[in-house]
Chain A
Amino acid sequence: MTAPAIELRKLSVRFHGRAALSNIDWTIPPRTITVLVGPSGSGKTTLLRAINRLNECFEGCQTTGAVWLGNAADRRDIYRPDRPLTDLRRQAAMCFQHPNPLPGSIASNFTIPLRCVLGLSAAQIEARMRRALADVDLLTEVGDRLHAGALTLSGGQQQRLCLARALALEPSYLLLDEPTANLDFRSTAKIEELLQRLKTRYTIVAVSHSLSQARRLADQVGILREGTLVQVLDSSQIEDADAFYRLVESYF
């Protein structure tokens, strides 16, 4: 499976007439981790949510420009009206800053989306759930209590569960909004290790407030400021720590 690229073309997002993103032109290469950094309110989360059209859940949102997803044979502008939203959101799965399992059991976190979105049978759901839990190293920890409440898990486990839930939909893209912001260093290390493994299969775009994490994870870093993409750093620019920190901080 070739994980396709993301192309943003003249992408602008406004909320009630106020610009949140302005004229973003950017190509995100396939099977890489791209980290978005920038001051609070610079548009990082808005950019992430533009890739799965989640901004449209908010009143007064206006998006112009295009976001192309898919490989050469099957490239589509996701803002074309003929594209079903549910299909797009399955393809570009998202994890939030706070772990937010669905109310109910660990298993129902898989049953609900897999049955509602993909219409899978119980056996298919079971297989996908176990595969996804194994992918995030959670199967050994929770495999014997899948019907226990999801909220009984620790914060790190809940975040991995949310990641597994996203993976179970078999997406092509993973959109992660500060996935380790509320976790301790051990859980953070586990998630980072997991993302490094997953990038061989998915195109990952993550928001992070931690510059050291951005360095550890990213193949490229996009710096946003006041809704504008001010610079994109490639791996060679990320390698030199001092130069990286100096450069990023100059935009804050």
Chain B
Amino acid sequence: MAKWTDWLVQCWCWLASLAVLGVVSGLALFLLRRGVATLGPELLFGDVPAGAAILGQQRVFDGLWPALVGTLLLVFGAALIATPLGVASGIWLAEYGRGRWGRWFSRAASVLAAVPSIIMGLFGFGLILLLRQTLAPQANTCLLLSTICLALLVLPYLIRATEAALTAIPEPVQLLGHALGLSRWQCIWHVHLPAARRGIQSGIVLAVGRIAEDTAVILLTGVVASAGVPQRLTDRYEALPSTIYYLAAEHRNAAELDRAFGAALVLLCLTTLLLCLAYGLTRFAKRTP
């Protein structure tokens, strides 16, 4: 009986892994089949020369370049705000937040994690309405607002990932720094964080992916169909997920729909590149003594 159970469990695990692999490969192949033909400088820059578009000398009206830049700015901006806040909060929860305050903070992080992205978008939109009626009558939805709302959206991922990675450190490693006479912060910096690096890195990667693909928040907080490359944080902007949405929802022929698939491929490549960058940075940090 035990032998059969072993066999069944093993088969189930294999099948589940193969199914995941199948779904990912199927999705990539489907996107490639529909979108690969559209890939090329024209998809990104339309009829504008690539150099002129990249240097900002000419505006791109018929290409994904502004959306690509918008998404990159969103990812870097939101990650820049959320990572230090999320990691620091996770450290506090794992290392200091034992008691009533810790329990309250933990519940607050859980509530934030359960907030749907459209609510976060509405919060941003509501914030602008409030600002217009009170402190800043000229306030409008913009790149900065989207960045802040997206940072808030991914904050719980980072908090939970950091907390889980730190609390999963084995007891002898938890005690190691203290036994060597290091102070509390030195223990965290030199022993606990390096030991928990992989878990924290997974949280950051997850957060980056979530920022890059979110549509609901940006639709309500500043993304528009043709804003060009934003020059300031208070400008409106374009982004790849919303561009994919517009291209697919408003297509009039198969070629236009294929451009949506092409844009999806660009987004997929961008997130893969960002993930590789995150892994590369961690490997570099690991090698540096």
Contacts and interface: CB of A to CB of B under 8 A. Distances in A.
Contact of B289 (A54, A108, A165): A108
B13 interface: no
B216 interface: no
A98 B186 CA distance: 22
Contact of B190 (A57, A89, A98, A116): A116
A113 to B, nearest CB: 4
A102 B179 contact: no
Contact of A113 (B172, B182, B195): B182
A104 B289 contact: yes
Contacts of A57: 174-175, 178
Interface string B84-121: 00000000000000100000000000000000000000
Which of the listed residues B179, B186, B289 has the most CB atoms from chain A within 10 Å of its own CB? Answer: B179
Which of the listed residues B183, B190, B195, B197 has the most CB atoms from chain A within 10 Å of its own CB? Answer: B190
A96 interface: yes
A87 interface: yes
Interface in B144-179: 170, 172-176, 178-179
B178 to A, nearest CB: 5
Contacts of A213: none
B181 A102 contact: no
Interface in A19-59: 52, 54, 57, 59
**What interface size band does chain B fall in?**
20 to 34
Contact of A96 (B172, B183, B186, B190): B172
Contacts of B190: 102, 112, 116
B180 interface: yes
A116 B178 contact: no
B191 interface: yes
Interface residues of A, number: 31
A125 to B, nearest CB: 13
Given A98-B172, A116-B186, A147-B289, A103 B191 contact: yes
B180 A100 contact: no
A74 to B, nearest CB: 18
Contacts of B183: 86, 116
A5 interface: no
Given A104-B194, A116-B190, A96 B289 contact: no
B191 to A, nearest CB: 6
B169 to A, nearest CB: 11
Interface in A79-126: 85-90, 93-94, 96-98, 100, 102-105, 107-108, 111-113, 116-117
Given A103-B194, A104-B289, A116-B190, A52 B98 contact: no
A147 B288 CA distance: 10
A219 B120 CA distance: 68
Contacts of A116: 182-183, 186, 190
Nearest to B180: A113
7 contacts: A89-B179, A93-B180, A96-B176, A108-B289, A113-B180, A113-B182, A147-B289
Given A54-B178, A102-B190, A117-B182, 16 more contacts: A87-B181, A88-B181, A89-B178, A89-B179, A89-B181, A96-B179, A98-B170, A100-B176, A102-B191, A102-B194, A112-B180, A116-B182, A116-B190, A117-B181, A165-B180, A169-B180
